[in-house]
């Protein structure tokens, strides 16, 4: 029997009961990714692995629990590429609301979603958090996304142009080289860019699109490779450094929640 684990699924129910009873402000992290094409050089699991790894490392750093990974997300615009699996927006909302309701029912006071698949999952996550807050006002919901949380670290580490794009590009490839090099095909590294529509940006950092537009489907039949960005700028060190800072910042946030709750309890 393991001495300790932070994975909810590896615990027995009396372990979870004890966790809930002994923490001032019990916290659980719910990772959600996507199973979708990331160009010819990266596997379909990039977003799922990012969500799972980020959740687990934050959990270890802060001594909280992670729920099992939801490996599928809203990836409709990638369905033209073989292997992509997509849930509809409303299915993602339903899954998250059910998971949140179960966890809230057990007494978790902080439920933090870690999203590995920015933009496309965010409307569903925001909808699920908003509706769940109405039903479980005693719970603090929050969502962490690498690009949102890591605005400044991305900008500091970046070698490429912000308009190169960020789907399977410099940073996601660096992360995969750091953690799953055996799944990366370096021979397939090609810079792939898309023309930007007026008033829009493919720099997903900082979320500075002045006008919002839906993700548009692309297709291998049009000659698209699937990714948008420049994997030739990737390096494992860049992935490690990015990750370390993301985990550190997220851990600081998670710890601030517990502190806030304790203070509130003190009043």
Q: Which of residues 57-116 bind a second copy (CB under 8 A)?
A: 67-72, 74, 76-77, 79, 81-91, 94-95, 98-99, 102-103, 105-107
Asked if 87 and 72 touch (Cβ cutoff 8 Å), the reply is yes
Residue 158 beta carbon to a second copy: minimum distance, rounded to whole angstroms = 17
Residue 159 beta carbon to a second copy: minimum distance, rounded to whole angstroms = 23
> Quick one: which segment of 55-63, 140-148, 159-167, 235-243 binds a second copy (CB under 8 A)?
140-148
Q: Among 220, 237, 244, 262, which residue sits at the site for a second copy (rule: CB under 8 A)?
A: 220
Asked if 27 and 62 touch (Cβ cutoff 8 Å), the reply is yes
Q: Among 29, 44, 177, 234, which residue sits at the site for a second copy (rule: CB under 8 A)?
A: 44
Closer CB to a second copy, 72 or 171, in the complex: 72
**Tokens found for residue 113:** 């979603």
Applying the rule CB under 8 A, the residues between 165 and 184 that interact with a second copy are 182-184
Among residues 227, 27, 182, the alpha carbon closest in space to that of 112 is found at 27
Closer CB to a second copy, 186 or 237, in the complex: 186
Unique residue bearing structure tokens 């959740």: 55
Among residues 34, 52, 51, the alpha carbon closest in space to that of 43 is found at 34
Residue 229 beta carbon to a second copy: minimum distance, rounded to whole angstroms = 15
Q: What are phi and psi of 28, to 5 degrees?
A: -135, 140
Q: What are phi and psi of 44, to 5 degrees?
A: -65, -20
Other residues' Cβ atoms within 10 Å of the Cβ of residue 70: 23
> Quick one: which segment of 56-64, 143-151, 154-162, 232-240 binds a second copy (CB under 8 A)?
143-151
Closer CB to a second copy, 69 or 233, in the complex: 69
Q: What are phi and psi of 40, to 5 degrees?
A: -75, -10
């Amino acid at each position: 029997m393991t001495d300790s684990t932070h994975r909810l699924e590896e615990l027995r129910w009396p372990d979870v009961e004890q966790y809930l009873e002994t923490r001032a402000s019990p916290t659980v992290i719910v990772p959600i990714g996507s199973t979708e094409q990331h160009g010819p050089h990266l596997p379909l699991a990039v977003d799922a692995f990012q969500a799972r790894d980020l959740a687990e490392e934050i959990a270890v750093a802060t001594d909280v629990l992670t729920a099992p990974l939801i490996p599928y997300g809203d990836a409709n615009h990638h369905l033209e590429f073989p292997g992509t699996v997509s849930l509809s927006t409303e299915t993602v909302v339903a899954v998250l609301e059910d998971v949140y309701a179960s966890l809230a029912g057990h007494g978790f006071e902080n439920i933090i979603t870690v999203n590995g698949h920015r933009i496309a999952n965010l409307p569903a996550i925001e909808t699920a958090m908003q509706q769940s807050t109405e039903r479980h006002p005693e719970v603090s919901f929050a969502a962490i996304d690498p690009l949102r949380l890591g605005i400044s670290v991305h900008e500091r580490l970046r070698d490429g142009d912000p308009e190169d794009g960020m789907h399977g590009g410099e940073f996601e490839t660096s992360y995969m080289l750091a953690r799953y090099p055996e799944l990366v095909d370096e021979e397939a590294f090609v810079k792939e860019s898309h023309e930007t529509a007026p008033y829009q940006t493919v720099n997903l950092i900082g979320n500075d699109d002045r006008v919002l537009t839906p993700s548009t489907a692309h297709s291998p039949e049009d000659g698209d490779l699937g990714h948008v960005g420049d994997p030739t700028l990737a390096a494992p060190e860049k992935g490690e450094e990015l990750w370390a800072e993301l985990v550190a910042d997220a851990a600081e946030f998670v710890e601030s929640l517990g502190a806030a709750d304790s203070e509130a309890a003190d009043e």
